């Protein structure tokens, strides 16, 4: 059961954390060297970086106003003059909407994971380092959330709270916190008993210092890599919530919502209608491959 | 064992992908894809709004008065149903005499008579009745607000009593469907309580309608067979199958792949594809209004009749119709010209931007000083059509005349609740107009609840706190006009006055689009929310 | 072993209770008055109060929880606010349908995943490995409800090979294992299978690669043992973990089919949940989530016990 057996990924990360801790000198340099030699990971990183730049500078890059449409030019196809990617159901420029939509989609993909990273790492490290009853309390609570498949948990919380960005972020954060707690706890536990931690403890260093210097320094990397893999899941989940009408509200551009509102146009302009889905797909696959590449690079054996 | 079976099934399915599904034998069965997510309740008082009345109300049951759904080219009016005639008692205007149709039997064979009418009135109005069902009250009481009780005069005559003189009662009674008391009593004998008996009744109901329910799989399908003993014109189709398909794309795909013969509300963007595959698109204006309802209290720019008129004149309804792929009728009043209640308004609603600008200037606004109007809208909702696209279109369109429109987008249920709270309530958040669409076949729902001063919140939907003694008098006159012609004339005067005062920003009527296979013959789309399922058949 | 079994089962009890509490609270944190889902807003006030009493919505929270738990233990999940039918009556048929869909999808994903993962793990680093891993990543990265829509347009609307929606000509209640019904299962099952396919591929690839690297396998191969023996060895060692992953995937699919069921109008728990959310039918929302979560807890337990039975080397604290 997932509540007692760590998943393969968690076990792998714990091993990596131990490796990182033992060879902290030069370990990350080695990881970086290996990543540099992996063309796929580098390509994904470049694609994501390019997307990020375009999204951040959306108002400068986008050719049109994302909200201004016209009924006369609604649902134009790919390659229309001035509208290279066509127009949506309200005659708004698709390219512009996709660029601006990336902002909210990335936001919805990253923020819940980032929040979960902060909360989950804090609680997980606390549980792993303190052990005993604290560990018991935190981990058993986590087990309860593990009793829900993640889609179900997200739908349950945002379905009960109602639609909206805030509620969706809350729901998604609650989906990922337990997962990150699990990983943080298991890597912390594996680092905690290493010799140099013991040494630090016996030399009279305070718990806070030990955690800050020795534990966090070694566990953050593996947890971070794990979290990057969650971004892809989070994007698909958040766009799924929008598809169910539980996420972003119109007229805000967001890929999941665009997919939702454009789906009736799949008979008129199929290629335009699938664009937001393709954007989610590309982003999500890049994050996944990036995370895989990082994980592989950190695995000394591989 | 099960797993092996499933495995075999999945594997078997793979190479068989290329096989085409065989055509199903039809035999006069019409399969309909509804927009509801569930089969509307079948116990006689359907839920799911008027789609419920359309598919599990009218086909399975009859009411004392019914809608004439036989023609597409004239407004649907009230005709005799299980009552052949009715009149109000001149001595006591709260008392109505209904003469019942003879020789009608329920699907279970028991007779329809005065006792059955009284039993059906009590099921929603008499808390002491053994068969009183609280769940049906919510779906019924608000649609016949003045009815109080029924009394038997003889086997084929009943008296109905209202709380005040109300000439609109016969129209309201189209919502009270007659279920079989005998069938219910049989279910009651086998169940622990009345609620359970109603549930059992819903699974095997008995009415007097042109179809009887033969099979009910909740959330998946309902099957109805022709009632060969129907008292009126019998149905042509042998069977009707109802399938809930809430997702618009799934409905379109189901029709295109031949899984259903008829779908409700295809999305406008799928229509070209449907037409290309020879599907027939039916539409007709419905007694439905998609308006902005103004706030008339001090401080609201819409308290000024010139601004209300300017808005009505500035809207490009034809452009909006284009946005909806033609599936909309421009609204220039609560009812359309030609309707018995139309009257002869002096204010001619049309698109005339120059006149709109002139009126705005007169009210002290102009291109350099736009008037800001905040409208509370929803992102979805029953009867709301395509609220976001439509409102965004209006926002863009009105900007050029000098209107700065702002939206407060809230959840549909919340909007619907706010509608009862009024524009001075905190829930309105300072909005000057609210965008709730409504059904307009009944004068109470069409006009009275908005324009009578005592209908102000929290009583009913006079959201804008409209208060004009002139209108109160006209409404009282209509309520007390018991001759149909006289009543229609009173309502026409009321409607004309409402248009002259621009009491709404009238924008659109829904046209209830539905798409059907060319094999469906004889279908008539009346000017109504309802259809007569007796007419179509399949070839 | 027996003690472990008992302890493991006992451990599931507090989890189940906590899951129940979470589900109860779900309705309490929901904004708005659930009464609005039962009566139209223009119903008179006394009717609203009457209905509120009839549904027990006027009692204090702890009492409501107590009553709720007491009933749930007896199998009474309450009544749907929208239909008045017992939640369980709709839920039981929906669960059967979802289980059927999820099982098919899990098996489909498992078979393809094992094939791809096995190939990728055996020939690690080769072009085959690249292709298989890319398919796997694509599987977990694709928004599957979108994939479902595309499949409908291609296979139902354009080619007219497969039905677009529903569970067969007579609805799920007269389901039969014949082509007429099974064709309805194909598109949703394929759509839903892409996720477990991706995950199983990755897992199996990892397991196989690890086993292949083990010294004794290398030794076996060096001795020129038949390929089949090597293969059997790999299967034997990979089975417990692969099985665990598959079991959990079935659980994830049970809970995660909401989007796919919505696209295909498949009459399962997902569609039920979707309409419950739209109608704000909180008892149905609550009951469905509770039962799915309990199913997942039970499945986890089962997988765990099976894993222990199959692989005694796994040490249990």
For residue A256, what pLDDT band results from cuts at 50, 70 and 90?
Answer: confident
pLDDT tens track for A117-137? 999 999 999 998 888 899 889
If you measure CA to CA, which chain B residue comes closest to A273? Answer: B269
Residues of B in contact with A159 (CB under 8 A): none
* Total CB pairs under 8 A between chain B and C: 171
Check: CB of residue B179 under 8 Å from CB of residue B201. Answer: yes
- Helix or strand run (H / E) with residue B430: none
Predicted pLDDT of residue B155: 94
- Rounded Cα gap, residues B57 and B123, in angstroms: 16
Q: Check if B195 contacts C (Cβ < 8 Å).
A: yes
- Rounded Cα gap, residues B309 and B401, in angstroms: 13
Predicted pLDDT of residue B354: 93
Task: Give residue limits of the domains in chain B.
Answer: 27-60+209-284+512-538, 65-182, 288-509
Which of A173-182, B2-11, C69-78 has the highest average model confidence (pLDDT)? A173-182
**Between B270, B322, B380, which is nearest A264 by CB?**
B270
Q: Min CA distance, C304 vs chain A (Å)?
A: 5
Residues of A in contact with B379 (CB under 8 A): 245, 249-250
Which of A290-294, B211-215, C99-103 has the highest average model confidence (pLDDT)? B211-215
Query: B27-60+209-284+512-538 has which fold?
Result: D-Maltodextrin-Binding Protein; domain 2 (3.40.190)
Q: Quote the tokens at residue B273.
A: 């594809």
Task: Please report, to the nearest 10 degrees, the dihedral formed by the alpha carbons of residues A246, A249, A255, A257 taken in order.
Answer: 60
Q: Is the peptide bond before A251 cis (omega within 30 degrees of 0)?
A: yes
| Structural domains of chain A in order of their starting residue, each with its CATH number | 38-298 (1.10.3720.10)
Write the DSSP string, C148-181. HHHHIIIIIIIS--S--SSS-TT-GGG--SSHHH
Residue at token pair 């909007």: B415
**Between B19, B134, B259, which is nearest C166 by CB?**
B259
Between B348 and A201, the more confident residue is B348
Predicted pLDDT of residue B103: 92
Residues of A in contact with B249 (CB under 8 A): 263-264, 266
Q: Which residues of C203-240 are buried (b: 16+ CB within 10 A; e: fewer)?
A: bbbbbbbbbbeeeebeeeeeeeeeeeebeebbeebbeb
Q: Does A2 score more than 60 pLDDT?
A: no
- Rounded Cα gap, residues A266 and A295, in angstroms: 38
Check: CB of residue A186 under 8 Å from CB of residue A11. Answer: yes
- Rounded Cα gap, residues B199 and B184, in angstroms: 10
- Rounded Cα gap, residues C314 and C309, in angstroms: 9
How many residues are given for chain C?
317
Predicted pLDDT of residue B25: 37
Average of per-residue pLDDT across B475-485 = 89
Q: Min CA distance, C9 vs chain A (Å)?
A: 11
Q: Check if B42 contacts C (Cβ < 8 Å).
A: no
Alpha carbon distance, N-terminus to C-terminus of chain A: 28
Q: State whether B249 and A162 contact (CB < 8 Å).
A: no
Query: Which residues have C-beta within 8 Å of that of residue B279, sequence separation ≥ 6?
Result: B255, B256, B515, B516, B517, B518
Q: Min CA distance, C170 vs chain B (Å)?
A: 8
Q: State whether A249 and B252 contact (CB < 8 Å).
A: no
Residues of B in contact with C285 (CB under 8 A): none
Between A13 and B62, the more confident residue is B62
Mutate to test the interface with A, among B269, B326, B328, B410 (most CBs of A within 10 A): B269
pLDDT tens track for B124-173? 888 889 999 877 876 677 678 788 999 999 999 999 999 888 888 999 89
The ipTM is 0.81
Q: Give the strand order in the sheet containing B157-162.
A: B83-89, B92-100, B157-162, B147-154
Residues of C in contact with A142 (CB under 8 A): none
**Between C94, C179, C264, which is nearest B250 by CB?**
C264
Q: Quote the tokens at residue B233.
A: 């014109």
Q: Quote the tokens at residue C129.
A: 């490995």
Q: Does C314 score more than 60 pLDDT?
A: no
Q: Min CA distance, A91 vs chain B (Å)?
A: 10
Q: State whether A267 and C153 contact (CB < 8 Å).
A: yes
Mutate to test the interface with B, among C36, C147, C164, C197 (most CBs of B within 10 A): C164
Q: Is the peptide bond before B458 cis (omega within 30 degrees of 0)?
A: yes
If you measure CA to CA, which chain B residue comes closest to C183? Answer: B13
List chains touching A (3+ CB pairs under 8 A).
B, C
Predicted pLDDT of residue B49: 74
- Rounded Cα gap, residues B23 and B257, in angstroms: 11
Q: State whether A74 and B252 contact (CB < 8 Å).
A: no
For residue C155, what pLDDT band results from cuts at 50, 70 and 90?
Answer: confident
Q: CB atoms < 10 A from the CB of B19, how many?
A: 12
Predicted pLDDT of residue A186: 86
If you measure CA to CA, which chain C residue comes closest to A245? Answer: C278
β-bridge partners, A87: A93
Report the mean per-residue pLDDT for chain A.
Answer: 82
Predicted pLDDT of residue C305: 80
Residues of C in contact with B416 (CB under 8 A): 41
Residues of C in contact with B51 (CB under 8 A): none
Q: Which CATH architecture best describes the domain B288-509?
A: Roll (3.10)
- Rounded Cα gap, residues B471 and B477, in angstroms: 10
Query: Which residues have C-beta within 8 Å of that of residue B334, sequence separation ≥ 6?
Result: B289, B341, B440, B446, B447, B495, B498, B504, B506
Mutate to test the interface with B, among A70, A71, A163 (most CBs of B within 10 A): A71
Q: State whether B256 and C40 contact (CB < 8 Å).
A: no
CA distances from A63 to A54, A58, A99, A258 (A): 12, 9, 10, 18
| Long-range contacts, stretch C272-277, CB < 8 angstroms, 24+ apart | C272/B219, C272/C90, C272/C91, C272/C94, C273/A155, C273/A159, C274/A244, C274/B37, C274/B246, C275/B37, C275/B38, C275/B219, C275/B246, C275/C82, C276/A159, C276/C82, C277/A155, C277/A159, C277/A244, C277/A246
Q: Check if B134 contacts C (Cβ < 8 Å).
A: yes
For residue B206, what pLDDT band results from cuts at 50, 70 and 90?
Answer: very high
Q: Check if B24 contacts C (Cβ < 8 Å).
A: yes
Average of per-residue pLDDT across A249-262 = 81
Predicted pLDDT of residue A298: 76
- Do β-strands B78-80 and B65-67 pair in parallel, antiparallel, or remain unpaired? antiparallel
| Chain CA centroid to CA B75, Å | 14
Check: CB of residue B221 under 8 Å from CB of residue C171. Answer: yes
If you measure CA to CA, which chain B residue comes closest to A248? Answer: B379
For residue A8, what pLDDT band results from cuts at 50, 70 and 90?
Answer: low
Q: State whether B411 and A265 contact (CB < 8 Å).
A: no
Q: Min CA distance, A269 vs chain C (Å)?
A: 12
List chains touching B (3+ CB pairs under 8 A).
A, C
Q: Quote the tokens at residue C228.
A: 């089949």
pLDDT tens track for A217-244? 778 888 888 888 899 889 989 888 888 8
- Rounded Cα gap, residues C221 and C218, in angstroms: 5
Mutate to test the interface with B, among A91, A266, A267 (most CBs of B within 10 A): A267
List chains touching C (3+ CB pairs under 8 A).
A, B
C-contacting residues of B 66-105, CB under 8 Å? none
Nearest Cα residue to A35 out of A290, A219, A225, A223:
A290
Write the DSSP string, B396-413. HHHHTTTEEEEEEEE-HH
If you measure CA to CA, which chain C residue comes closest to B254? Answer: C164
Q: State whether B270 and A267 contact (CB < 8 Å).
A: yes
* Torsion sign across C-alpha atoms A275, A280, A283, A289: negative
**Domain boundaries B65-182, corresponding CATH code:** 3.90.76.10
* Total CB pairs under 8 A between chain A and B: 46
pLDDT tens track for B490-516? 999 999 999 999 999 999 999 888 999
Residues of C in contact with A150 (CB under 8 A): 252, 255-256
- Rounded Cα gap, residues A222 and A230, in angstroms: 13
Q: Does C196 score more than 80 pLDDT?
A: yes
Average of per-residue pLDDT across B277-305 = 92
Q: State whether B272 and A249 contact (CB < 8 Å).
A: no
Q: Min CA distance, A212 vs chain C (Å)?
A: 30
Q: Min CA distance, C261 vs chain A (Å)?
A: 11
**Between B268, B273, B388, which is nearest A251 by CB?**
B388
- Rounded Cα gap, residues A9 and A302, in angstroms: 15
Q: State whether C164 and B3 contact (CB < 8 Å).
A: no
Predicted pLDDT of residue C87: 86
Between A210 and B436, the more confident residue is B436
Residue at token pair 């601006």: A100
HSE-CB of C103 using CA atoms within 13 angstroms: 17
* Total CB pairs under 8 A between chain A and C: 142
Q: Min CA distance, A110 vs chain B (Å)?
A: 26
If you measure CA to CA, which chain B residue comes closest to A68? Answer: B396
């Amino acid at each position: 059961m997932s509540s007692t057996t760590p998943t393969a990924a968690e076990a792998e990360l714990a091993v990596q954390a131990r490796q990182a801790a033992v060879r902290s000198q030069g370990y990350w340099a080695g990881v970086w060297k290996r990543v540099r030699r992996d063309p796929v990971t580098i390509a994904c990183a470049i694609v994501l970086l390019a997307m990020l730049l375009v999204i951040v500078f959306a108002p400068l890059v986008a050719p049109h106003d994302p909200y201004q449409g016209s009924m006369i030019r609604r649902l134009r196809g790919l390659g229309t003059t001035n509208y290279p990617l066509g127009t949506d159901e309200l005659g708004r420029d698709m390219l512009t909407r996709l660029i601006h939509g990336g902002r909210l989609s990335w936001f919805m993909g990253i923020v819940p994971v980032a929040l979960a990273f902060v909360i989950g790492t804090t609680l997980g490290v606390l549980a792993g380092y303190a052990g005993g009853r604290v560990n018991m309390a935190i981990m058993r609570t986590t087990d309860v959330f593990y009793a829900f498949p993640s889609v179900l948990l997200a739908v349950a919380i945002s379905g009960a709270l109602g639609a909206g960005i805030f509620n969706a972020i809350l729901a998604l954060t609650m989906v990922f916190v337990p997962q990150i707690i699990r990983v943080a706890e298991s890597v912390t536990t594996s680092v905690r008993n290493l010799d140099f931690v013991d040494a630090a403890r016996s030399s009279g260093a305070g718990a806070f210092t030990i955690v800050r210097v020795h534990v966090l320094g070694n566990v953050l990397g593996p947890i971070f890599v794990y979290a990057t893999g969650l971004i892809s899941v989070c994007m698909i989940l958040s766009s799924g919530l929008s598809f169910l009408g539980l996420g972003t509200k119109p007229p805000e551009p967001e890929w999941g919502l665009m997919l939702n509102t454009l789906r009736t146009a799949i008979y008129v302009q199929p290629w335009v209608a699938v664009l937001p889905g393709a954007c989610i797909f590309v982003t999500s696959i890049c994050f996944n491959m990036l995370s895989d590449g990082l994980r592989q690079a950190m695995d000394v054996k591989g | 064992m099960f797993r092996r079976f499933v495995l075999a099934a999945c594997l078997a399915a793979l190479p068989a992908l290329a096989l085409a599904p065989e055509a199903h034998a039809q035999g006069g069965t019409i399969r309909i894809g509804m927009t509801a997510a569930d089969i509307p309740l079948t116990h006689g008082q359907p839920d799911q709004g008027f789609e419920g009345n359309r598919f599990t109300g009218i086909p399975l049951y009859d009411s004392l008065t019914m809608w004439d759904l036989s023609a597409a080219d004239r407004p649907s009016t009230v005709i005799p149903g299980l009552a052949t005639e009715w009149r109000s008692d001149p001595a006591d205007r709260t008392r109505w005499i209904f003469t019942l149709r003879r020789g009608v039997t329920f699907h279970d064979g028991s007779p329809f008579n005065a006792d059955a009418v009284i039993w059906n009135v009590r099921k929603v109005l008499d808390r002491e009745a053994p068969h009183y069902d609280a769940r049906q009250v919510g779906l019924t009481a608000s649609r016949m607000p003045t009815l109080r009780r029924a009394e038997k005069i003889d086997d084929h005559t009943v008296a109905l009593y209202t709380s005040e003189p109300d000439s609109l009662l016969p129209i309201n009674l189209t919502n009270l469907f007659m279920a079989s008391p005998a069938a219910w009593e049989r279910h009651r004998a086998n169940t622990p309580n009345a609620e359970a008996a109603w549930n059992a009744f819903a699974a095997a109901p008995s009415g007097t309608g042109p179809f009887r329910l033969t099979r009910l799989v909740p959330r998946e399908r309902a099957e109805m067979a022709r009632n060969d003993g129907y008292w009126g014109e019998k149905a042509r189709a042998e069977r009707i199958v109802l399938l809930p398909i809430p997702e618009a794309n799934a409905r379109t795909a189901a029709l295109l792949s031949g899984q259903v013969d008829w779908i409700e509300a295809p999305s406008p963007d799928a229509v070209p594809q449907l037409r290309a595959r020879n599907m027939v698109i039916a539409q007709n204006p419905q007694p439905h209004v998609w308006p902005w309802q103004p706030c008339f209290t001090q401080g609201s720019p819409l308290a000024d009749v010139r601004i209300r008129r300017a808005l009505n004149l500035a809207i490009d309804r034809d452009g909006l119709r284009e946005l909806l792929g033609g599936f909309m009728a421009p609204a220039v009043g609560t009812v359309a010209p030609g309707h018995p209640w139309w009257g002869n308004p002096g204010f001619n609603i049309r698109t005339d931007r120059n006149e709109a600008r002139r009126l705005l200037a007169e009210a002290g606004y102009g291109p350099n000083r736009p008037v800001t109007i905040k409208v509370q809208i929803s992102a979805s909702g029953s009867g709301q059509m395509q609220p976001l696209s439509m409102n965004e279109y209006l926002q863009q369109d009105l900007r050029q005349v000098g209107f700065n429109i702002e939206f407060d987008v809230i959840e549909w249920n919340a909007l619907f609740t706010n509608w009862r709270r009024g524009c001075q309530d905190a829930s309105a958040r300072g909005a000057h107009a609210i965008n709730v669409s409504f059904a307009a076949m009944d004068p109470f729902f069409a006009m009275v609840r908005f324009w009578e001063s005592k209908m102000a919140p929290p009583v009913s939907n006079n959201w804008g706190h409209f208060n004009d003694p002139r209108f109160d008098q006209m409404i009282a006159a209509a309520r007390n006009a018991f001759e149909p012609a006289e009543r229609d004339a009173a309502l026409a005067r009321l409607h004309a006055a409402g248009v002259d005062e621009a009491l709404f920003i009238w924008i659109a009527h829904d046209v209830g689009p539905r798409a059907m296979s060319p094999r469906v013959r004889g279908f008539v789309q009346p000017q109504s929310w309802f259809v007569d399922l007796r007419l179509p058949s399949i070839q | 072993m027996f003690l472990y079994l008992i302890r493991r089962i006992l451990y599931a009890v507090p989890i189940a209770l906590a899951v129940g509490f979470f589900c109860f609270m779900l309705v309490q944190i929901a904004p708005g008055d659930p009464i609005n889902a039962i009566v139209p807003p223009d119903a008179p006030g006394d009717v609203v109060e009457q209905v509120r009493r009839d549904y027990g919505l006027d009692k204090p929270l702890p009492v409501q929880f107590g009553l709720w738990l007491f009933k749930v233990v007896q199998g009474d999940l309450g009544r749907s606010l929208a239909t008045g039918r017992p939640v369980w009556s709709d839920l039981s048929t929906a669960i059967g349908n979802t289980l059927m869909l999820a099982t098919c999808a899990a098996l489909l994903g498992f078979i393809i995943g094992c094939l791809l993962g096995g190939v990728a793990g055996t020939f690690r680093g080769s072009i085959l490995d690249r292709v298989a891993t890319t398919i796997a990543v694509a599987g977990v990265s694709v928004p599957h409800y979108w994939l479902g829509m595309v499949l409908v347009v291609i296979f139902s609307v354009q080619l007219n090979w497969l039905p677009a929606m529903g569970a067969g000509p007579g609805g799920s209640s007269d389901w039969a294992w014949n082509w007429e019904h099974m064709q309805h299962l194909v598109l949703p099952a394929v759509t839903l299978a892409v996720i477990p396919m991706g995950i199983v591929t990755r897992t199996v690839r990892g397991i196989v690669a690890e086993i292949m690297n083990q010294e004794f396998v290398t030794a076996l191969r060096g001795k020129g043992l038949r390929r089949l023996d090597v293969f059997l060895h790999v299967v034997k060692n990979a089975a417990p973990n692969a099985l665990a992953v598959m079991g959990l995937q079935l659980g994830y699919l049970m809970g995660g089919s909401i989007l796919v069921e919505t696209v295909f109008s498949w009459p399962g728990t997902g569609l039920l949940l979707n309409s419950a959310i739209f109608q704000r039918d909180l008892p149905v929302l609550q009951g469905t989530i509770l039962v799915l979560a309990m199913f997942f807890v039970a499945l986890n337990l089962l997988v765990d016990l099976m894993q222990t039975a199959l692989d005694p080397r796994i040490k249990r604290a």
